[in-house]
Structure 1
Amino acid sequence: MARKECVYIPRIIPIRDLKNTTEISKMCNESPELVYITKNGYGDMVIMGMKAYEEKLYMLDVYSRLAQAEEEIHEGKAIDARKALKDLKAKYGL
């Protein structure tokens, strides 16, 4: 069976709609995606709900840690886990 992907259609609203703060807040909190604000037909701002913001920050932290781990591997600061476990077993007679 084919895997079903969730596709979000970006929400784009004109800046004049920001007057209705309750509706904008509801829109931001109902969607995990960003809400794009346009001014004179061009992109001006992006807003999002707190949950989406926290998820984006979390993923940025994950990507940063992965990049750091990749760098440590390339610098030779990391060792193979199987070899490390084998060495520890030999050292402690396990």
Structure 2
Amino acid sequence: MSIAEGEVVNLNQKVVDLSTNLDRILGSLKGVEAWIPSVDAGMQGLRRSVEGIKARVIKLEAQSSTATPPPNGHRVDNKYQGEATAAESAQERTLVKRA
């Protein structure tokens, strides 16, 4: 009988260990259940942000289809008195005194 009693004690210990492990698993599952809604809400917010950015990019791409001409220096060259003569207008005196 002592062998059978030893096996019963050993079996009882295994049942206690199994019950403890199941309680830990249940606690982990409850934690995950509490965590999932916050992750889902975060993903929905992220999805809305990406959709907003996508709409802005599409709008900007549509606007940039008309390219602006490249810059032509700092200003238009107005050295000529007219189209017919094409004579350069030269200053007789400089505006800056040289040292």
Under a length normalisation based on structure 2, what TM-score does the superposition of the two structures give? 0.31
Under a length normalisation based on structure 1, what TM-score does the superposition of the two structures give? 0.33
- Structure richer in strand, relative to its length: 1
Q: Tell which structure's C-alpha radius of gyration is larger.
A: 2
**Of the two structures, which has the highest relative contact order with CA contacts closer than 8 Å and spacing of 6 or more?**
1
- Structure richer in helix, relative to its length: 2
